[in-house]
Structure 1
Amino acid sequence: MKHQLFIGIVGLALSGAALAQPTESFYLMRNKVSGKAVCAQHPISPDWVREAGPFKDQDCKVADKPEPRRSDLPASPLELAPKKKE
């Protein structure tokens, strides 16, 4: 009984930590008027434009690049299925 409660508490804590992670990328935004740059997920106002990104971190230092497609894997099963004749 105690083990189930412990596992439940640990699971709840881990799920809360996972939910706290940002889900969107960050962008380096620059103000058109003042030239000031900040790292944000969304434009602050129409005076701010994206200058660089996307980034994984809130400091705009780690580039958020998509994983390259692996060519050593077999084709998708959907691509291998026989085509239906109409």
Structure 2
Amino acid sequence: MTKFILTALVVALLGPIALHAEPAPWYHWRSKSTGTMTCSQTPLGPGWARADGPYRDARCEKPLPTK
């Protein structure tokens, strides 16, 4: 019974934190060899450099407001 109460307490305390989680921002990435631009949340590898961002959509059209 004590494990159940402890588990319920942990879930109750961490629940609000999980509910405020946001998705990762999107960035424009430029190919170092061809200059091609693409939009991604994660680095594409050593041949790519982050060009601009962050954005809140997968098309890199809606900028995130600065905090």
Q: What is the TM-score when the length of structure 2 is the normalising length?
A: 0.63
Bigger radius of gyration among the two: 1
Corresponding residue of 1:18: none
Give the whole-Å Cα distance in 1 for the aligned partners of 2:28 and 2:66. 18
Corresponding residue of 1:38: 38
Q: How many residues align?
A: 46
- Cα RMSD (Å): 1.4
Q: What is the TM-score when the length of structure 1 is the normalising length?
A: 0.50
Q: Which has the higher strand share?
A: 2
Show structure 1 runs of 4+ deviating over 3 A. Answer: none
Gap runs ≥5 in structure 2:
1-21
How big is the shift at 1:24?
A: 0.1
Give the whole-Å Cα distance in 1 for the aligned partners of 2:65 and 2:46. 26
Gap runs ≥5 in structure 1:
1-21, 68-86
Corresponding residue of 1:53: 53
